[in-house]
Chains A and B, each alone.
Chain A
Amino acid sequence: MENVIETSELTKVYGSGREAVTAVDRVDLKIGTGTISGILGPNGAGKTTLIMMLTGLIIPSGGSANVFGYDIVKDSLQIRRKVGLLPEGFGFYSSLTAEQNLNYVAALNEILGAERDKRVGEALEVVALEEFKDRKVGAFSRGMTQRLGIAQALIKDPELLMLDEPTAGVDPEGSRKFKDLVSRLNSERGKTVLICTHLLHEVGPLCTHVAIMNRGRFIVQGRVDEIVRRMMDEEGYRIIVEVKGDPEAFAKELEGSPGMISLEVDERNISVRASSDIRADIVKAASMKDYEILSIRRLEPSLEDMFMKELSRRR
């Protein structure tokens, strides 16, 4: 897979001397074509600084990076021609309509005349705002503004979309629509998407690849499924069993089963931690001892789990 973004030891230090703050600290990042990648981390982790450096809006203090082979310092204009950026805390001209705002963005990209009309129409259609095109943006809800933000990023028909905190402040419905939209843009239009967010649970599941960032550094990086597997190998598998009858009694039957690490029982469920996926063994044990299993599921660690684990490991 070709990489659209490659960074090497990319660093940004704000201020100098005692006041110096390292926002991004020697970051190595590779983003492959056609992926949905997430840079996840808490506020102040350095995500926005990183994305702004990648689009040439912040000059790095050290290291190097290129986007589509263009150097982020020397060729930032070329990068911004090919990258649709949704910055954090963006806004539109509230006295202009949605269409007028997009026309302006198109004109800044030197897209004019019939081509502009076509692209603006398409972008509004993709984000489902065509019926609101003549409404002033000042009257838009946060979710609509966010979708219009994606529309402006799509005007130039970019190969790469960089979205910074795209669901911050958006209601659950707006957030769901956003996730659907990003999925479609990736699967149907082949857009590579890079999302920066602190809302790990919101956007994390969209991503095929993640890099978890804290204090300017990546603490975990890779394919989501590989990271999950690695974590489960290290931490063990969590299996939740719901049985009909007395869960305490069934838990006693399971004690000492091969692969079992620990057991916890509450009113209805048995929570099993095991070194491997022993669900088949549990079902077999239940049928032998005449217990009826109502449900059995394996819990995969969430991105928050990964983040918290890596954070505690580094403390």
Chain B
Amino acid sequence: MAGVFTVASREFSDMVRSKRFIILIIVFGLVMIIPMVTLYIQVIRMMPDMPGVPMPLGFLGMMGYMLSGTLSTFAPVMGLALGCDTISGEREKGTLKIVLAQPVFRDTVINGKFLAATSAVSLAVLITSLVTVGVSTMVMGVTPTAGEALRMALFLPFAVLFTMTYYGIAAFLSTIMKKTSQSVILGVTMWAVFSFVIPVIASLVALAIAPPRFTPGEPIDVESMRGYTTIVEAISSITPNYHFSKIGQHLLSPSAAAPTQEETPITSSLMHAGPNALVLVIVTALVFIASYIAFTRQEVR
């Protein structure tokens, strides 16, 4: 176990001191703050026309969808960026040979790397979340309530888990690919497929099978819309992004937390998010195990 912490501490310190990590944190922060500020400005503009609407609507009410949506696109980028050279980078630099020449098992190396990545990702998510909350409080005067802060705190580990899912995918690719460039290309392709291609395919398939019935001037047919949504969700559920978005909806959406509506209890939100979280845990565990098996079977030449 000591070896795991030795590998993890070196890896963590290397990771958090790297330019890549600092740039990711800055971009991560901007990606979270810019939509929030944009949304806030839009709400303020609408205010004169909507005298009955309380302002602000509530921190999560404004940010819920946006936060999980933004994260579902950006967290994979962070996971891939940190994981794409996990093994291939060490192989290319020759450092893997020095490490494996020591009396350490290979699982020590891979466990240490995952531990370091989890710590670094947690740090990144925590820093950016604190900055986001800080900006919303100080600049816009939108202060989360205790309940909202708790929901946000509960949401963060899932953001870390989701980032680690992509880190695991990237780490697996970097284990089986000879070069980092190959694992980057494959990782980005997978991200694009999960984030953009599958949702589009899901919509097209749903439109073909069960198009929502829409007559101009009349309200949309709820039943047909439900059928369409069911198909979209069924297809999208093969991506980790879908499950993460669902967790975000359950924990952060306005219906779950807006002060103007009846609030869903946190335990209930967590229960609803449970199956999606379980899928993320399973996917992360699977890619970790796959990386582990691939790495331990590899020969060092």
Contact = CB atoms under 8 A, between A and B. Distances in A.
B98 A90 contact: yes
B208 interface: no
A94 interface: yes
B6 A58 contact: no
Contacts of B93: 91, 93-94
A195 B95 CA distance: 20
B14 A80 contact: no
Contact of B94 (A48, A90, A96): A90
A49 B94 contact: no
Nearest to B97: A87
* Centre residue among B7, B18, B300 by max chain A CB count within 10 A: B300
Contact of A104 (B2, B6, B97, B300): B6
A302 interface: no
Interface in B32-63: none
B104 interface: yes
B97 A89 contact: yes
B274 interface: no
Interface in B81-118: 93-95, 97-105
Nearest to B297: A59
* Centre residue among B97, B99, B101 by max chain A CB count within 10 A: B101
Given A94-B93, A110-B2, A87 B101 contact: yes
A283 interface: no
A95 B97 contact: no
A93 B14 contact: yes
A309 B121 CA distance: 60
Nearest to A105: B102
Contacts of B17: 95
Interface in A108-142: 108-110
* Centre residue among A81, A108, A149 by max chain B CB count within 10 A: A108
Contacts, number: 74
Given A87-B98, A92-B98, A104 B10 contact: yes
Interface in B1-47: 2-3, 6-7, 10, 14, 17-18
Range of interface residues on A (Cβ < 8 Å): 20 to 34
A80 B101 contact: yes
Interface in A211-250: none
A89 to B, nearest CB: 5
A39 interface: no
Contacts of A149: 98
A153 B102 CA distance: 9
B299 interface: yes
Nearest to A79: B103
B111 to A, nearest CB: 14
B94 A108 contact: no
Interface string B285-301: 00000000000000111
Contacts of B14: 93, 95-96
A48 B102 contact: no
Contacts of B10: 93, 104
Contacts of A59: 299
A80 to B, nearest CB: 4
Given A92-B95, A93-B95, A80 B299 contact: no
A77 interface: yes
Nearest to B2: A110
Given A81-B103, A109-B103, 15 more contacts: A52-B300, A52-B301, A59-B299, A77-B103, A80-B103, A86-B101, A87-B97, A91-B94, A93-B14, A93-B93, A107-B6, A109-B102, A153-B101, A156-B102, A156-B103
Per CB-CB distance, the 3 closest pairs between chain A and chain B, nearest first, are A91-B94, A87-B97, A85-B101
